[in-house]
């Protein structure tokens, strides 16, 4: 019965399903004229290409909100960023973010490609992300622009400090912004600042070295407020201004003079420089470390090409070559997306207009309704199938539930065959409880006179009585 019902429902629901499919085809007929668009985009990852193209175009447009370039200049900049990605392997995402960062920091739009190329190569050579490299370069340029020959020179300063000191590009990029402006205000040259980093990072951490240089710069800048330092400066250089003395004689000469004036005594230096960190910097750069400081100055004056040398080293690695290969592939995808976007834009606009029209909205609405009919028919069919499954599952569960009892009965009968007589008595008692008539379960099932539950109860009662009888007989022994 259940099988016939299941077949009938599936047959009916199948017809509903087919009607629904037919309706979907009819409802979407008007959209077929736009199918060429979807097919073209889908082939060869066209959709992904369009997305990459749109994302890149959006990022470039964001940068141009600051650069404010004309159409031709903007197209040249866009192509320049693509070429730079092919050259360096830096992703277009990282490059466009860096482009916006650099323009926001005031890098002129006319020099931006040169700036981006230099900082991208420096970032690769320093094994640091482009954003960190741009931040560090900008801070150095802001503080020492009048002493540097452009961004390439700024990157050489950073690279030479890393090469000669005990510090990496990530650490230096995060620290130098704290000290550069203060050091420049005290007339500490970019070479002296680099030399101080080279020497002090060999004695302590990058962070503490930065703190020491910052404190030293601050105290030298405020020398006029310190009687001890003013007196020592006046005696040696004829001025109470440390910044003027440094400009005329250099940092190392001034520090040696002040240290000599204090007799290299820590307590006197403490009174002269006030802050412990500043005193630590003086001690770290003078005395037995004075020659190291002079060597650091020499190295900083020989910094030309340091950043490019780091880049060339990294460019020979398999990692760089693999990254560059993927960057080239991504540019190819973006170029494909540009072509597809330009080709399909008119059709896409037509599709948008049609969908916004009354005809398009009506057709789309009817199509959605038809799809709903299909879903409903499918759900109904699956619902009937689910009922059949759970019915079968429950039936099997009921039958298998009595299996252990049947096995127990068989084992008991074999084990206690000698008690067969007693077992028969117990069975006879069971018959008497049923009105003197022995109930045959098989006959009941054949006649269909009892429900499945009643049949199971009869079987279980006989088994229970038989097994209990055998157990009672065994217990009597």
Residue 456 clears pLDDT 70, i.e. is over it = no
Q: Which of 8-12, 219-223, 276-280, 394-398 has the lowest mean pLDDT?
A: 8-12
Residue 223 clears pLDDT 50, i.e. is over it = yes
Stronger pLDDT, 254 or 471, i.e. the higher one:
254
Q: Report the pLDDT value the prediction gives residue 339, as an integer from 0 to 100.
A: 85
CB 196 within 8 A of CB 281: yes
CB 273 within 8 A of CB 219: yes
Q: Rounded to 5 degrees, what are φ and ψ at 451?
A: -75, 170
- pLDDT bracket for residue 237 (50, 70, 90): very high
Residue 432 clears pLDDT 70, i.e. is over it = no
- In angstroms, rounded to a whole number, what is the distance separating the alpha carbons of residues 116 and 132? 13
Q: Which of 15-19, 119-123, 288-292 has the lowest mean pLDDT?
A: 15-19
In this structure, what is the dihedral angle of CA atoms 54, 60, 66, 69, given to the nearest 10 degrees? -110
Percent of the chain with pLDDT strictly greater than 90: 59
Q: Rounded to 5 degrees, what are φ and ψ at 149?
A: -100, 60
Residue 166 clears pLDDT 50, i.e. is over it = yes
Cα distances (angstroms) measured from residue 258 to each of 54, 158, 188, 189, 216: 62, 29, 16, 18, 12
CB 305 within 8 A of CB 221: no
- pLDDT bracket for residue 455 (50, 70, 90): very low
Q: Report the pLDDT value the prediction gives residue 409, as an integer from 0 to 100.
A: 54
Residue 417 clears pLDDT 50, i.e. is over it = yes
- In angstroms, rounded to a whole number, what is the distance separating the alpha carbons of residues 35 and 351? 10
Q: Which of 36-45, 68-77, 297-306, 425-434 has the lowest mean pLDDT?
A: 36-45
> Mean per-residue pLDDT for 375-391?
53
Place of tokens 């400081």: 293
Q: Report the pLDDT value the prediction gives residue 24, as an integer from 0 to 100.
A: 46
Phi-psi map region of 450: left, alpha, beta (phi>0 left; psi -120 to 50 alpha): beta
Q: Rounded to 5 degrees, what are φ and ψ at 276?
A: -60, -40
**Which of 217, 216, 126 is CA-nearest to residue 172?**
126
Residue 399 clears pLDDT 90, i.e. is over it = no
Q: Report the pLDDT value the prediction gives residue 322, as an integer from 0 to 100.
A: 95
Stronger pLDDT, 335 or 399, i.e. the higher one:
335
Stronger pLDDT, 353 or 41, i.e. the higher one:
353
Q: Report the pLDDT value the prediction gives residue 13, as an integer from 0 to 100.
A: 47
Place of tokens 């739009």: 109
> Mean per-residue pLDDT for 45-56?
82
Stronger pLDDT, 8 or 432, i.e. the higher one:
432
> Mean per-residue pLDDT for 99-103?
97
- In angstroms, rounded to a whole number, what is the distance separating the alpha carbons of residues 22 and 179? 74
Summarize the chain as % helix, strand, coil (round to 5): 85, 0, 15
Residue 17 clears pLDDT 90, i.e. is over it = no
Residue 387 clears pLDDT 90, i.e. is over it = no
Tokens read off for 442: 């098989």
Classify the C-alpha dihedral 145-148-152-157 as positive or negative.
negative
How crowded is the C-beta side of 448, counted as CA atoms within 13 Å?
A: 0
How crowded is the C-beta side of 152, counted as CA atoms within 13 Å?
A: 11
Q: Which of 22-31, 42-51, 172-181, 231-240 has the lowest mean pLDDT?
A: 22-31
Tokens read off for 69: 């370039």
User: What does pTM read for this prediction?
Assistant: 0.66
Q: HEC states along 325-361?
A: HHHHHHHHHHHHHHHHHHHHHHHHHHHHHHHHCHHHH
- In angstroms, rounded to a whole number, what is the distance separating the alpha carbons of residues 34 and 26? 15
Q: HEC states along 106-152?
A: CCCHHHHHHHHHHHHHHHHHHCCCHHHHHHHHHHHHHHHHHHCCHHH
Stronger pLDDT, 24 or 84, i.e. the higher one:
84
Tokens read off for 345: 């834009």
**Which of 251, 253, 252, 283 is CA-nearest to residue 266?**
283
Q: Which of 7-16, 106-115, 253-262 has the lowest mean pLDDT?
A: 7-16
Mean pLDDT over each residue of the chain, to the nearest integer: 80
Tokens read off for 105: 């920091």
Cα distances (angstroms) measured from residue 33 to each of 39, 110, 237: 11, 47, 88
Tokens read off for 241: 């201004």
Q: Report the pLDDT value the prediction gives residue 373, as an integer from 0 to 100.
A: 52
């Amino acid at each position: 019965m259940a099988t016939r019902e299941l077949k009938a429902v599936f047959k009916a629901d199948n017809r509903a399903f087919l009607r629904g499919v037919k309706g979907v085809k009819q409802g979407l007929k008007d959209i077929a004229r736009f199918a060429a668009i979807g097919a073209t985009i889908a082939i060869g990852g066209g959709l992904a290409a369009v997305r990459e193209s749109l994302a890149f175009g959006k990022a470039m447009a964001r940068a141009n909100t600051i650069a404010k370039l004309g159409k031709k200049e903007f197209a040249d900049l866009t192509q320049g960023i693509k070429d730079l990605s092919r050259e360096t392997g830096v992703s277009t995402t990282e490059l466009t973010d860096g482009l916006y960062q650099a323009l926001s920091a005031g890098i002129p739009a006319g020099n931006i490609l040169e700036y981006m190329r230099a900082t991208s190569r420096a970032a690769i050579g320093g094994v640091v992300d482009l954003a960190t490299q741009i931040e560090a370069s900008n801070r150095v340029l802001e503080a020492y622009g009048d002493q540097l020959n452009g961004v390439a020179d700024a990157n050489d300063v950073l690279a030479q400090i890393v090469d000669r000191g005990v510090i990496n590009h990530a650490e230096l990029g995060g620290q130098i912004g704290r000290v550069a402006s203060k050091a420049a205000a005290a007339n500490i040259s970019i070479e002296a600042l680099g030399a101080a980093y080279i020497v002090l990072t060999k004695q302590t951490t990058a962070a503490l070295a930065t703190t020491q240089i910052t404190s030293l710069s601050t105290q030298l800048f405020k020398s006029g407020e310190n009687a001890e330092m003013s007196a020592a400066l006046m005696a040696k250089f004829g001025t109470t201004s440390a910044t003027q003395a440094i400009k005329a004689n250099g940092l190392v000469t001034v520090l040696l003079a002040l240290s000599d004036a204090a007799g290299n005594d820590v307590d006197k230096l403490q009174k002269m420089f006030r802050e412990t960190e500043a005193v630590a910097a003086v001690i770290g750069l003078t005395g037995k470390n004075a020659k190291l400081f002079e060597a650091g100055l020499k190295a900083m004056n020989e910094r030309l090409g340091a950043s490019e040398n780091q880049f060339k080293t990294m460019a020979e690695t398999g990692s760089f070559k693999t990254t560059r290969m993927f960057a080239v592939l991504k540019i190819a995808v973006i170029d494909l997306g540009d072509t597809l976007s330009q080709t399909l834009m008119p059709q896409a606009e037509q599709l948008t207009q049609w969908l916004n029209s009354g005809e398009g909205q009506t057709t789309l609405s009817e199509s959605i309704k038809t799809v709903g009919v299909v879903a409903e028919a499918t759900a109904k069919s699956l619902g009937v199938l689910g009922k059949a499954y759970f019915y079968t599952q429950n039936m099997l569960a009921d039958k298998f539930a009595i299996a252990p009892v049947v096995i127990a009965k068989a084992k008991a009968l074999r084990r206690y065959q000698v008690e067969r007589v007693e077992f028969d008595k117990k069975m006879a008692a069971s018959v008497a409880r049923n009105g003197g008539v022995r109930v045959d379960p098989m006959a009941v099932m054949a006649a269909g006179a009892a429900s499945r539950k009643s049949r199971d109860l009869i079987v279980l009662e006989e088994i229970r009585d038989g097994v209990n009888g055998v157990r009672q007989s065994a217990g009597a022994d």
